[in-house]
Structure 1
Amino acid sequence: MQLRRATPDDHARAGEVTVAAYADFTLGPADPYVSRLRDAATRDREAELWVATPDDRDDEILGCVTLCPPGSPWRELSGPDEGEFRMLAVAPEARGQGVGEALARMCLDRFRSERRRGVVICSLPEMTDAHRLYGRLGFRRAPELDWSPLDGVRLHGYRIDFEESQG
C-alpha cells in the first residue's frame, strides 16, 4: 500500500470512505456530522488529508486521515508543541489489513520528525477497535483531555509522549 497526500480527485471517495467508516457511530444519513465527515475537500484545504491506496490502484482509497498541523482550525486538543490527527478512517472492505495502523504511524512519524513533544487525539468511547490500535501504538488514556463537542456526545482523550514511547 502507498500513503500520499490526497488530490482533489480523491476528495469524493475519501469522504465516502470516512462516512462508511463512521456509520456505526452516527445517527444515520440525517446526522449533521455526516456532512462534515463527507467534506474531505475542506479537511484537505484547512489541514492535510492523507490517503492509503493499493500499490497497483492509485484511484482506490483504502483509508484516510486528517493530519492537523499547527495553525489548522481542525486542531481540537493539541498545544503548540503537540501533534494531532482526526477522522482516521478505513474502508469497511479494507479493515484488518493494517491500513489504519499505517496511517496513524505516518502521522506519528511526521510529528516526531517535527520534534513535537507528542500527539493527542480524541475518540468516542464506543470506538473500541480504534482504542486497541492506539494502545498498540503507545497512546494512553488522558481523561484530562475528555470533552463534549455537543450535548450528549462525550469524547475520550488519548496521548502519546514521544520521550516515553521511545523507551
Structure 2
Amino acid sequence: MRPHEVDVVAHLTVEAYTHDYDLSESYVRSLADVHDRARSDEVWVAEDTATGAILGTVWTPRPGARISAVARDDELDFRLLAVSPDARGRGIGEALVSHVVGLGRIRGVKRVVMNTGSIMLPAQRLYTRLGFVRLPDREERIEVEPGRFVDIFAFGLDLD
C-alpha cells in the first residue's frame, strides 16, 4: 500500500466487513485504523491494473513479528483480508492469500496462519479450498461487547 492509499484502504476494509456482518462500533473503528497498522506492519493491496482501483487488501506483520495470538514461532500470520463487494468473485481474495503464502515461503516459515469468525463462511470456504486446515487448539470465544460473544476459528497452511 502506498501512503496516499490509506483512506481508500480503510474505506474498502470497513465496506467489505460491514456489507456482510453486523459489527460493533469498536470493531469498525479498528477496521478503519489502517494508518496505525501500516506504521508497524505491512498492508498489501490488490489493484486493478486497468483502472488503478483498489479491489482488496490484507495485513501481514513485518519479518520476524506477529500480529495475532494465533501465530507461533516460525509462522506467518495475516489478518483483515477484505475484498470490495463490487469486486467479489474475481479471484481477488485468492490472489491476496496467495501473496501471503508466497511471503511465507520467501521468509522461510513453516506455516501460514490466520483466524476468522465462525459466521464468516465465505472466508472459511476460501481458506479450505486453498488448503488451509482448522487448528482447533488455537480457537477461542471472545466477548466483542458486553454480553456478545464470537467464536474465533483458526486456520493454518503448512508450507513445504
TM-score by length of 2: 0.90
Report Cα offsets for 1:67-95 as digits up to 9, x if no partner: 123324x2331112000100000000000
TM-superposed deviation, 1:43: 1.2
Partners of 1:62 and 1:76 in 2: how far apart? 28
* Matched residue SS, 2:51: coil
* 1:54 matches 2:22: no
Pair 1:148-2:141 in alignment: yes
Count of equivalent residues: 154
Aligned to 1:138, what secondary structure does the other structure show?
coil
Instruction: Report whether the alignment pairs 1:138 with 2:157.
Output: no
Aligned mates of 2:6, 2:22 — CA distance in 1: 20
Paired residues for 1:21-40 under 5 Å: 21-23=16-18, 24-27=20-23, 31-40=25-34
Give 1:149 shift: 4.1
Structure 1: which 5+ residue stretches go unaligned?
Answer: 1-5
2:118 and 2:150 in contact (8 A); partners too:
no
List structure 1 segments (4+ residues) > 6 angstroms apart after TM superposition: none
Structure 2 residues not aligned, in runs of 5+: none
- Alignment equivalent of 2:82, drawn from 63, 86, 89: 89
- For residue 121 of structure 1, the aligned residue among 102, 114, 125 is 114
Q: Following the alignment from structure 2 to structure 1, what is the Cα–Cα distance between the partners of residues 118 and 70?
A: 17
Following superposition, the deviation at residue 10 of structure 1 comes to 0.7
Percent identity for Structure 1 against Structure 2: 34
The amino acid of 2:17's aligned partner reads Y
> Would you say 1:64 and 2:57 are equivalent positions?
yes
Answering whether residue 8 of structure 2 is matched by residue 13 of structure 1, we say: yes
Q: Give the whole-Å Cα distance in 2 for the aligned partners of 1:79 and 1:160.
A: 13
State the one-letter code of the partner of 1:49. V
* SS of aligned partner of 1:34: helix
- Preserved contact between residue 62 and residue 91 of structure 1 (Cα < 8 Å): yes
RMSD: 1.4
3-state SS, counterpart of residue 93 of structure 2: helix
CA distance in 1, matches of 2:43, 2:26: 21
